[in-house]
Amino acid sequence: MDLFSKIQEATQFLASRGIKDVEVGIVLGTGLGKLADLIQDSISIDYTDIPYFSASTVESHKGKLIYGTLGNKKVLAMQGRLHYYEGYDMKAISFPIRVMKFLGASTLLLSGAAGAMNLEFKKGDLMMITDQVNLLPTNPLIGANDERLGPRFPDMSETYSKNLQEKILSIAGSKKFNLRQGVYVAVQGPMLESAAEYRFLRTIGADAVGMSTAPEVIVAKHSGMNVAAVIVLTDECDPDNLKPIEIDEIMEIAGEAEEKLIELFPEVIDAL
């Protein structure tokens, strides 16, 4: 079965469960799943119950789709995402974004956790992604293109919507949040980077590094969606002062910073 038919089948399954007229898709990354608790009149479905969805294997990712109302919009949130290091191919990782689009979503908001390489940034800060560098070994558009899904050569000159960035900056400013702005680089993982790798990634212009986001964003742009992302910087990656990173600490910092995202995202959605 081709990709288009799989997307149709998954979309029809979700529609039969009451999920329809989606306006905004949301991806909730590491340690950032509580935003889903704010979704009103919600419908929750496990990924494993949805045709062609893959199971999330990372402990902090619940692997559920949550549908309902957030702000004044119908939203569909991924409570946990899929990663290349879990062994999934790029089409599986990005499949939920395709389904969001088929269900009506025109905007995609993403969150996640990342390491801060810009030495002015500190752990616990929020960073709005202004652009990205994709260093994953492949991407979800490899292979024959289906024009029903998007163009063969999608333009990435404005990967992250400037209009959405302006809205986010305005709302963050009104709340006195110290919202950083920077370039995100996606790497394969699951190991964290060496000091030499941090130096290299900083040299090519990246402010933060993580193991996700780029595949979903590429597919969202291919699909014609407007995209914005705000991530939590959970550790400081100074190659001259590098300390071992404890995953428990990353989760704790992400959880603390999540309170700001819980304030920010509903108002951003209201402003769409």
In angstroms, the first-to-last Cα distance of the chain is: 36
User: By percentage, how much of the chain surpasses pLDDT 90?
Assistant: 84
Banded model confidence at residue 257, pLDDT cuts 50, 70, 90: confident
Q: What is the pLDDT of residue 269?
A: 96
Residue 128 has pLDDT above 60, yes or no: yes
Q: What is the pLDDT of residue 34?
A: 79
Residue of higher predicted confidence among 113 and 184: 184
| pLDDT tens, position by position, 201-240 | 999 999 999 999 999 999 999 999 999 999 999 999 999 9
Question: Residues 170, 94, 131, 101: is their CA dihedral positive or negative?
Answer: negative
Closest CA to 32 of 77, 94, 69, 68: 77
Closest CA to 26 of 62, 72, 74: 74
Residue of higher predicted confidence among 162 and 256: 162
The pair of structure tokens assigned to 203 is 């040299």
Burial class (CB in 10 A: 0-12, 13-18, 19+), 251: middle
Find the mean pLDDT for residues 1-11.
97
Domain boundaries, the chain: 3-270
Is the pTM higher than 0.75? The answer reads yes
Q: What is the pLDDT of residue 187?
A: 98
Residue 59 has pLDDT above 70, yes or no: no
Q: What is the pLDDT of residue 71?
A: 86
Q: What is the pLDDT of residue 250?
A: 83
Q: What is the mean pLDDT of the chain?
A: 94
Q: How far is CA 203 from CA 73, 123, 207, 255, in A?
A: 40, 20, 10, 30
Degrees (nearest 5) of the Cα angle 158, 121, 215? 35
What top-level class would CATH report for the domain 3-270? alpha beta
Banded model confidence at residue 196, pLDDT cuts 50, 70, 90: very high
- Most confidently predicted of 31-40, 49-58, 84-93: 84-93
Residue 61 has pLDDT above 90, yes or no: no
Find the mean pLDDT for residues 2-16.
98
Residue 151 has pLDDT above 80, yes or no: yes
Residue of higher predicted confidence among 42 and 246: 42
